[in-house]
Amino acid sequence: MTPPPGRKADRSAVVVGRAHAKVNLDLRVLGTRPDGYHELRTVFQSIELHDTLTAQETAGPFTLRCETPGVPLDSRNLVWRAAGALWKALGRDGDPADTLITLDKVIPMEAGLGGGSADAAAALQVLRRLWGGAPAELLREVGAEIGSDVPFFLSGGTALGLGRGEEIYPLVDLPRHWIVVVRPPFGVSTAEAYGWYDEDRAAGVREPRGELQILPVPWPTRAAQMVNDLEPPVIRRHPEILAIRGALRDAGAVASAMSGSGSAVFGLFQTRLQAARAQGSLSPMGGTIVLSRTLSRLEYEKRARPVLRRV
């Protein structure tokens, strides 16, 4: 029904946004910092695999809903923290209110795929739309407070991450690759992986750095040699990761590595067919195996842009 002239339609706004996962094409730990974090040089790459967030106006306290078991629905969830931090940054009093976010979770958790941070960045984007504007710079500042990886998810594509990983420099997009992501039946928390890294160094364990894997594409490949300094300490505790990496190479991947702090391992393929075959051949290994592809910065911008609907 059309409302009478001068009266606003009694419809509430719904904003839908996508939270795309990432893999790390390279991750070097340069040292430890006075704040307890590790100084990094990493190369992030967005992939098509994504969660979906739906934010809508509804009376009452801010609420987060998600049907996936094991997803916290309180301040332990980065979406919740993103809402609180943005609310405050916009100068609003008290706790966030009158908003419901429904999270459709697809990205495997404790995998090094940045799912929690991607959700937080998507929450900032959808809430900015729903709550009425916030400059991009403010979003980046709020994002960096929530988690080291969050600023990357505000721009996506292929990017260099320095500092804690929160200082982002866009790179030339990696030409499209198909990706097989294997998330073994166990997860690794980020803090745990860095803890193992420190523990091994303190104990004088020095594993040789993994082989450099140069991608056979016209691209500044030196940026991403598929070396991950967190791999040796995680593989020492979970040797299955090394087996998955090898299996991906045997299945035709041009390169394979653990993503971020693990436990997921990914392989890069030049055709979808090769990737689909590899997915099939690795399925007896168990866990979750996903076929995906890389996203350029432009593709990312288009896909991650929140969409407003009136219901």
Active site residues: 22, 149
Residue closer to ligand C5P (CB basis): 193 or 278 = 193
- Smallest gap from Cβ 191 to ligand C5P, in A, equals 4
DSSP characters over 160-212: EEEETTTEEEE-PPPPP-EEEEEE-SS---HHHHHHHHHHHHHTT--PPPPPP
- Smallest gap from Cβ 161 to ligand C5P, in A, equals 9
Residue closer to ligand C5P (CB basis): 48 or 149 = 149
Helices 115-131 + 78-89 axis angle, to 10: 40
Decide if residue 297 touches ligand C5P (CB under 6 A). Answer: no
- Smallest gap from Cβ 108 to ligand C5P, in A, equals 16
x/- letters, 96..135, toward ligand C5P (CB under 6 A): ----------------------------------------
- Smallest gap from Cβ 149 to ligand C5P, in A, equals 6
- Smallest gap from Cβ 306 to ligand C5P, in A, equals 23
Member of 18, 20, 22, 38 binding ligand C5P (CB under 6 A):
38
- Smallest gap from Cβ 37 to ligand C5P, in A, equals 4
Member of 178, 194, 269, 300 binding ligand C5P (CB under 6 A):
194
Distance of CA 130 to CAs 11, 59, 121, 209, 298, Å? 13, 14, 14, 47, 23
Quote the tokens at residue 81: 């923290």
Decide if residue 40 touches ligand C5P (CB under 6 A). Answer: yes
- Cβ-based neighbour number of residue 106 at 10 Å: 14
Interior/surface letters 256-273, b for 16+ CB within 10 angstroms, e for the rest: bbbbbbbbbbbbbbbeee
Residue closer to ligand C5P (CB basis): 131 or 197 = 197
Residue closer to ligand C5P (CB basis): 118 or 251 = 118
Member of 45, 77, 158, 190 binding ligand C5P (CB under 6 A):
190
| Helix H or strand E segment including 139 | helix 136-146
187 in Cβ contact with 110 (< 8 Å): yes
Decide if residue 202 touches ligand C5P (CB under 6 A). Answer: no
8 in Cβ contact with 42 (< 8 Å): no
- Smallest gap from Cβ 275 to ligand C5P, in A, equals 29
Distance of CA 41 to CAs 26, 55, 88, Å? 8, 34, 31
Residue closer to ligand C5P (CB basis): 28 or 176 = 28
Which of positions 138-177 make contact with ligand C5P (CB under 6 A)?
Answer: 147-149, 164-165
Member of 191, 202, 203, 311 binding ligand C5P (CB under 6 A):
191
Residue closer to ligand C5P (CB basis): 32 or 281 = 32
Which residue do the tokens 């004088």 mark? Answer: 204
Gap between the Cα atoms of 174 and 79, Å rounded:
29
Quote the tokens at residue 76: 């332990």
Which residue do the tokens 């959808």 mark? Answer: 126
Gap between the Cα atoms of 100 and 59, Å rounded:
9
Helices 136-146 + 78-89 axis angle, to 10: 140
Decide if residue 37 touches ligand C5P (CB under 6 A). Answer: yes
Residue closer to ligand C5P (CB basis): 166 or 299 = 166
Under the rule (CB under 6 A), what is the footprint of ligand C5P?
37-38, 40, 147-149, 164-165, 190-191, 194
